[in-house]
């Protein structure tokens, strides 16, 4: 089944399995730092590229023993890596789903509970600016 056909519970299970198959650590501090780094990468995308919702593709070329250059390429190019704010946000969610999936957290229920609570909060949570 393709990820686009899955609900959040299945996405958590699939994310966890893919991460496990590829040797990613699953301790909470590591997962939180990795999720945070994906959000930081989204900020870098915002700074470096014009499109807020655009997905683009890159390819890295080794130019020396320790040097490399990244170029923009077409989606069908061999080893084309998806880039852009939507991709970085997806990476953050994947990291969160991975941890939840490996630790039996019902993320769907947690989101439902939190959204229900948020409906009861005052406008801008009592006047907060950010």
CA triplet 94, 50, 62: central angle to 5 degrees?
Answer: 70
Residue 106 lies in a domain: yes
Evaluate whether 91 touches 84 at the Cβ level (below 8 Å).
no
55 in a structural domain = no
Domain assignment of residue 56, yes or no: no
3-class SS shares of the chain: helix, strand, coil, % to 5: 55, 10, 30
- Looking at residue 1, its pLDDT comes to 56
Stated pTM of the model? 0.85
Each of the 130 residues of the chain gets a pLDDT tens digit; together they read 566 778 999 999 999 999 999 998 789 999 999 999 999 999 999 999 878 899 999 998 888 888 888 888 999 888 899 999 999 999 999 999 999 999 999 999 999 999 999 999 888 777 777 6
Residue 68 lies in a domain: no
Considering its fold, how many domains does the chain have in total?
1
Asked, for residue 64, whether it belongs to a domain, the answer is no
Q: Give me the pLDDT at residue 19, please.
A: 94
Q: How far from each other are the two terminal CA atoms of the chain, in whole angstroms?
A: 39
Q: Which domain holds residue 118?
A: 8-49+84-122
In a domain, residue 16? The reply is: yes
Q: Which two tokens stand for residue 20?
A: 């496990």
User: 88 in a domain, yes or no?
Assistant: yes
Residue 109 domain-assigned?
yes
């Amino acid at each position: 089944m393709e990820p686009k056909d899955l609900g959040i519970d299945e996405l958590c299970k699939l994310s966890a399995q893919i991460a496990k198959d590829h040797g990613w650590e699953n301790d909470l501090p590591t997962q939180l730092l990795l999720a945070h780094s994906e959000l930081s990468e989204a900020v870098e995308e915002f700074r470096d590229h014009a499109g807020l919702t655009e997905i683009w593709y890159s390819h890295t070329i080794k130019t020396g023993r320790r040097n490399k250059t990244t170029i923009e390429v077409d989606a069908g190019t061999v080893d084309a890596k998806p880039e852009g704010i939507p991709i970085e946000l997806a990476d953050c969610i994947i990291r969160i789903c991975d941890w939840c999936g490996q630790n039996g957290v019902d993320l769907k229920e947690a989101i439902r509970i939190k959204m229900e609570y948020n409906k009861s909060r005052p406008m801008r949570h009592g006047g907060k600016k950010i």
